[in-house]
């Protein structure tokens, strides 16, 4: 869609406002709403000035001017605002040079796509993220000088089999780890998920399915694959729709990887493929009908998995999911169809659908940075012919301890992931896709989260140590 096309749409559909949206380093969608009369061709082509110092991890106050550059092709009508509003995703540029701002996640994604083309390895990469989420009826938490607590609850939660509700307790709910695919009335969320999916379809998103996931109150909607930057935009819309439809139902949605103890956590499996000259680069005659390039791509991801964790699993909560025993892919191994390793090759008869699935990412990730980092790791594997080793065609969770000890793992904490990123970032800097300044700023931002988490007393500690 050109600027003229977008302006025509605004006029023809009597749009009242234009919402220009961008994503901060932590992955949170931000916005500014501009009245329709102020939006013309110059506005769309020259951009909108804003204060970058107010966004955590970006500019200092003495050098705070930044410019939002709308991507007209990303436009969609917001399904939730009372006044008719069209939304446009933006990248960030320096106002004096017009160059992409080095710490802007969306610009990083655009540079990653350009780098793929310039490498000669492929023309385009396709991404199919599978982001899970939880739905609750109530959430309460406190972080004060003398109190740290949280509580989540939902009528359909497994722990409410004997709860007394005003309307009565029907008893139909999935048990612990029993949520995968039951029909209603055990699955209470059919209608809300259906509305989420139909809302996504109405705003132009390509979707295909929805279902209850393994954990109590856990769900997933299906996004059809797309190119890197576009699919990161789609994932931001995915989260936006889920949060707002849940809110309209009087519920609350979260993409925290591990909001409840003792049940499965929330992941975001990332399906990836590269095409060149209109042909799938990953289809071939090697293991699981992969090409040699695909195996090298896997080798790059496995080699850099620990530094990748800083972007694919960027919250302290991420590492409460990445533990053995909850279908969590903590082992750096790959296999066809086996879901217990970091990387899986989904079964398909169609060479065009041949892809690689990274299973360790989670939806707390900034999608622009997550996808870009995975691509750069895979391309490094292809460039340097990194051998992924032999596939592990067995249930890795059931291996004897001595054999398990010989398989490397992903990181066990966000602190470890950031240390690994400091030591292993060169592959991200290739082609100036990521910049050293960007990575250092990101690490600094994440260290603030780690220090707050590590310095705060935990209720579990009171149980273990209060009477010592």
Residues 366, 311 contacting (CB under 8 angstroms): yes
Task: Tell whether residue 179 is among the known ligand binding residues.
Answer: no
Backbone angles phi, psi at 210, to 5 degrees: -155, 155
Is 208 known as a binding-site position? yes
Exposed e or buried b per residue across 52-85, where buried means at least 16 C-beta atoms within 10 angstroms of its C-beta: beebebbbeeeeeebbbbbbbebbbbbbeeeeeb
| C-alpha R_g of the chain | 23
> Do the annotations mark residue 156 as ligand-binding?
no
352 is in an annotated binding site: yes
Is 130 annotated to bind a ligand? Reply is yes
- Does the annotation flag 36 for ligand binding? no
Active-site annotation holds for 26: no
Residue 344 among the catalytic residues: no
Q: Is 94 annotated as a binding residue?
A: no
Among 71, 78, 110, 130, the active-site one is 130
Judge whether 132 counts as a catalytic residue. Answer: yes
d(CA 115, CA 376): 9
* Residue 455 annotated to the active site: no
Backbone angles phi, psi at 162, to 5 degrees: -115, 15
Q: Is residue 83 among the annotated active site residues?
A: no
Establish whether 458 is an annotated binding residue.
no
- Which residue out of 339, 393, 432, 440 is catalytically annotated? 339
Q: Annotated catalytic, 106?
A: no
Nearest to 364 by CA among 411, 326, 312: 312
174 by DSSP, 3-state: which? coil
Q: Which of 230, 359, 362, 420 is catalytic?
A: 359
Active-site residue, 339 included: yes
452 annotated among ligand-binding-site residues: no
Check the annotation: does 213 bind a ligand: yes
- Of 78, 132, 234, 293, the catalytic one is 132
Contact between residue 267 and residue 256 where contact means Cβ atoms under 8 Å apart: no
Q: Which residues contact 381 (CB under 8 A, 6 or more apart)?
A: 296, 297, 298, 299, 300, 301, 303, 388
Distance between CA 132 and CA 81 in Å, rounded? Answer: 25
Q: Which of 188, 269, 332, 355 is catalytic?
A: 269
For the beta carbon of residue 252, count every other beta carbon within 10 angstroms.
16
* Catalytic-residue membership of 293: no
Catalytic residue, chosen from 19, 24, 234, 357, is: 357
271 is in an annotated binding site: no
**Candidates 24, 36, 187, 213; catalytic one:** 213
Q: For residue 449, indicate whether it is catalytic.
A: no
Backbone angles phi, psi at 75, to 5 degrees: -65, 140
* Helical axes 436-455 vs 305-312, angle rounded to 10°: 70
Q: Is 210 annotated as a binding residue?
A: no
Q: Choose, from 51, 73, 387, 437, the residue flagged as catalytic.
A: 51
Catalytic residues: 51, 130, 132, 213, 220, 269, 339, 357, 359
- Binding site feature residues for ATP: 208, 339, 352
- Binding site feature residues for Mg(2+): 130, 132, 213, 220, 269, 357
- Binding site feature residues: 130, 132, 208, 213, 220, 264-265, 269, 321, 327, 339, 352, 357, 359
């Amino acid at each position: 869609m050109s600027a003229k096309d977008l302006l025509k749409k605004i006029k023809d559909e009597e749009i009242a406002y234009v919402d220009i949206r961008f994503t901060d380093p932590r992955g949170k969608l931000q916005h500014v709403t501009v009245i329709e009369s102020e939006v013309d061709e110059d506005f769309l082509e020259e951009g909108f000035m804003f204060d970058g110092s107010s966004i955590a991890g970006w500019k200092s106050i003495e050098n705070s001017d930044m410019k939002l550059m709308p991507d007209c092709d990303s436009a969609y009508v917001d399904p939730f605002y009372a006044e008719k509003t069209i939304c446009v995703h933006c990248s960030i540029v320096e106002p004096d040079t017009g160059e992409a701002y080095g710490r802007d996640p969306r610009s990083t994604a655009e540079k990653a796509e350009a780098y793929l083309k310039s490498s000669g390895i492929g023309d385009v990469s396709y991404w199919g993220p599978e982001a899970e989420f939880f739905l609750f009826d109530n959430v309460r938490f406190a972080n004060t000088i003398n109190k740290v607590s949280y509580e989540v609850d939902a009528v359909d939660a497994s722990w409410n089999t004997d709860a007394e509700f005003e309307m009565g307790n029907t008893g139909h709910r999935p048990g612990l780890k029993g949520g995968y695919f039951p029909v209603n009335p055990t699955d209470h969320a059919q209608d809300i998920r259906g509305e989420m999916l139909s809302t996504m379809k109405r705003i132009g998103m390509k979707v295909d399915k929805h279902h209850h996931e393994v954990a109590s109150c856990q769900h997933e909607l299906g996004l059809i694959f797309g190119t890197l930057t576009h699919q990161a935009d789609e994932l931001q819309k995915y989260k936006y729709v889920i949060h707002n439809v849940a809110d309209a139902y009087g519920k609350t949605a979260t993409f925290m990887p591990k909001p409840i103890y003792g049940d499965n956590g929330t992941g975001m499996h990332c399906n990836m493929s590269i095409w060149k000259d209109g042909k799938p680069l990953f289809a071939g005659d090697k293991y699981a009908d992969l090409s040699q390039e695909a195996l090298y791509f896997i080798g790059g991801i496995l080699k850099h998995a620990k530094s990748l964790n800083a972007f694919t699993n960027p919250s302290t909560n991420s590492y409460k999911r990445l533990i053995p025993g909850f279908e969590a892919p903590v082992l750096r191994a790959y296999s066809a169809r086996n879901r217990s390793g970091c990387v899986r090759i989904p079964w398909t008869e169609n060479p065009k659908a041949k892809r690689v699935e990274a299973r360790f990412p989670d939806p707390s990730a900034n999608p622009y940075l997550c996808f870009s980092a995975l691509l750069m790791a895979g391309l490094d594997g292809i460039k340097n012919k990194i051998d992924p080793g032999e596939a592990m065609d067995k249930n890795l969770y059931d291996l004897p301890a001595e054999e398990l000890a010989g398989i490397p793992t992903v990181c066990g904490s966000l602190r470890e992931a950031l240390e690994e990123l400091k030591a292993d970032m060169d592959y991200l800097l290739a082609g100036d896709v990521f910049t050293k300044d960007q990575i250092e700023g990101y690490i600094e931002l994440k260290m603030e989260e780690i220090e707050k988490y590590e310095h705060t007393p935990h209720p579990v500690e009171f149980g273990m140590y209060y009477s010592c």
